[in-house]
Structure 1
Amino acid sequence: MFGVCLYTGARIAEACSMHTKDVYSIDGSIRPRVTIRRGNTKGKSCTRSIPVGGKLRVLLSNYSSQKVYLFPGRHGRGHIHPDSADKILRAAFLELRIEGASTHSFRRTCLTQMHKRGVPLKVIQKISGHKTLSALQKYLEVLDEDLDEAIATLVF
């Protein structure tokens, strides 16, 4: 579930509510694109179709759900609740002594890494589902190493 967020930029609620058919074909093969349905998005404005990259394909090939939802709830009815996913992740972070991270960190990391690698903002906006570029830009982190690299470009 967290891999879906990291490699598609999906919000945790979007990943939790994905249907198995949004990722796998009837024959069980992984679709070339995952579908994030309009009704499950924050703004409920548009369905997004996001390509499945190599690393996500590997994760999905090692996962299987025979239920309607890709990530079913504990009792097999409905999907896992985003709060439950958050609780699971916080427990793992605590055990690993990782501070300051959350389920939203995967989305932020995905969008920031695409930006750092030169993906045009309009493309990232389409993947993320942000209505405006200004909303997207709030996600794009500037790290100390980015500042170091920027200063290193100065040659006079």
Structure 2
Amino acid sequence: MPHRRRPASEVTPEYEDSGLFKNKVGQLQVELVPQSMYNGRNDLVVRGFVNRTIEIEVAFAGRRVKEVGPLEARLRQVRAKALKEAAEKGLPPPDTDHMRLPVLIEGAWRPRFQRDQAGWETRSYYLFAARWSLLDDEGNTLSFGSRPLVVARQSQD
């Protein structure tokens, strides 16, 4: 299979955004949990929930990854606070799914296919973040990212 990725020096913000944001961009309130990983493309992928119960994964990709430091720090704070409160009360550590950080995310949905143990492919979705906002310790809104310069195609409304 040929290697189709451009060298980093040739990737412009417009080219990057046309690859990341292939569908309509919208805003969504998400509760992120302190469980994340970096994938093979060095995108930060964070688990989260929409409407309190629908589990999703949010990807912070490309040049926007440089801005995720404050988000990662805030997720660590949420985890540390929950663990400390449980320890002070003599309770077992809470489940990670109950440690949540509300974040307003502007982004686009991208499908992902995974093969289960029986060989069936299941479809799930990533929310690729373009911009995101969260509250700091004092209640001030912190905003990161940038609006997409290119959206590959807009769906018909």
Please state which band the TM-score falls in when normalised by the shorter chain.
Answer: under 0.3
**TM (normalized to structure 1)?**
0.22
TM-score under structure 2 length normalisation: 0.22
Query: Which structure is higher in RCO with an 8 Å CA cutoff and minimum separation 6?
Result: 2
Q: Which has the higher helix share?
A: 1
